[in-house]
Amino acid sequence: MKEAETISVMPAEIVKVMPAELQQLIQTKLEHAGLHTEQANEAAKHLVFADSCGIHSHGAVRVDYYAEQIAKGGVTLDPEVRFEKTGASTGIFHADNGMGQYVANLGLQEAIQMAKESGIAVVGVSQMSHSGALSYYVKQAAEQDLIGIAMCQSDPMVVPFGGADIYYGTNPIAFAAPRKEGAPVVFDMATTVQAWGKILDARSKNQAIPNTWAVDENGNATTDPHDVHALLPIAGPKGYGLMMMVDILSGILLGLPFGKHVSSMYDKITEGRNLGQLYILIDPKRFTDLDLFKERIETTVAELHQVKPANGFKQVFYPGEINQLNYEKYQAEGIPVEKNIYEYLNSETIHFDQYGGKGAFAE
Residues forming a β-bridge with 83? 93
Question: Whole-model pTM?
Answer: 0.93
Q: What is the pLDDT of residue 253?
A: 98
Question: Residue 256 and residue 126: Cα distance in Å, rounded?
Answer: 8
User: What is 193-232's CATH number?
Assistant: 3.30.60.50
Predicted confidence (pLDDT) at residue 5 exceeds the cutoff of 80: no
Q: Tell me: the pLDDT tens digits for 185-234? A: 999 999 999 877 678 667 756 789 999 999 998 888 999 988 998 999 99
Flag the least confident range among 37-46, 198-207, 240-249, 342-351.
198-207
282-312 core/surface letters (b: 16 or more CB in 10 A; e: else): bbbeeeeeeeebbeebbeebeeeeeeeeeee
Strands 185-189 and 214-215, bridge-based pairing = unpaired
Ranges for all domains in the chain classified under CATH 3.30.60.50:
193-232
Between 61 and 19, the more confident residue is 19
> Predicted confidence band at 316 (pLDDT cuts at 50, 70, 90)?
very high
Q: Please identify which of the residues 46, 56, 94, 130 carries the catalytic annotation.
A: 130
Q: Tell me: the pLDDT tens digits for 222-274? A: 999 889 989 999 999 999 999 999 999 999 999 999 999 999 888 889 999 99
Average pLDDT over residues 79-89: 98
Q: Tell me: the pLDDT tens digits for 47-63? A: 999 999 999 889 999 99
Q: What is the pLDDT of residue 207?
A: 85
Question: Residue 164 and residue 218: Cα distance in Å, rounded?
Answer: 6
User: What is 14-192+233-345's CATH number?
Assistant: 3.30.1370.60
Q: What is the pLDDT of residue 62?
A: 92
92 touches 254 (CB < 8 A): yes
130 has catalytic annotation:
yes
Q: What is the pLDDT of residue 355?
A: 85
Q: What is the pLDDT of residue 6?
A: 42
Ranges for all domains in the chain classified under CATH 3.30.1370.60:
14-192+233-345
> Predicted confidence band at 184 (pLDDT cuts at 50, 70, 90)?
very high
Q: What is the pLDDT of residue 204?
A: 59
Between 293 and 266, the more confident residue is 293
